[in-house]
Amino acid sequence: MAEIARLEAQVEIKSPVMEFYGFFRNNMHHLVEMFPEQLKSFQLLDADEIRADSLTHWKYDLGSPMTAKVKIEDIDDEDMSTTFNVVEGDAFRFYKSFKVET
């Protein structure tokens, strides 16, 4: 019989909520500049700006080169939250699904 499990984690961020949310809302592409050893590229695939339903493509290296296609499922400016869902890529070698909510 298949086993279903869910892993959740909470991390305390020492940054004002508006700054943290604003970074992911408007400046996500700067992650490549901030972590050049791990993050190799970020590209918006179907839009000129970060918005809900946008597809992004990431190239990263966590010991070996990997890629991920990530859909930005939801951006809620009122609650200052963003939901990302990996829809294609190397994460599926380890996980059945991979979703991040900030």
The model's pLDDT over 67-98, given as tens digits with 9 standing for 90+, comes to 999 999 999 999 999 999 999 999 999 888 99
Query: Which helix (H) or strand (E) element contains residue 7?
Result: none
The model's pLDDT over 43-59, given as tens digits with 9 standing for 90+, comes to 999 888 889 999 999 99
Q: Please give the CATH topology (third level) of the domain spanning 37-101.
A: Alpha-D-Glucose-1,6-Bisphosphate; Chain A, domain 4 (3.30.530)
Q: What is the rounded average pLDDT of the residues 3-22?
A: 82
| One-letter identity of residue 21 | Y
The residues with which 42 forms a beta bridge, in sequence order, are 58
Q: CA-to-CA distance for 101 and 83, rounded, in angstroms? A: 4
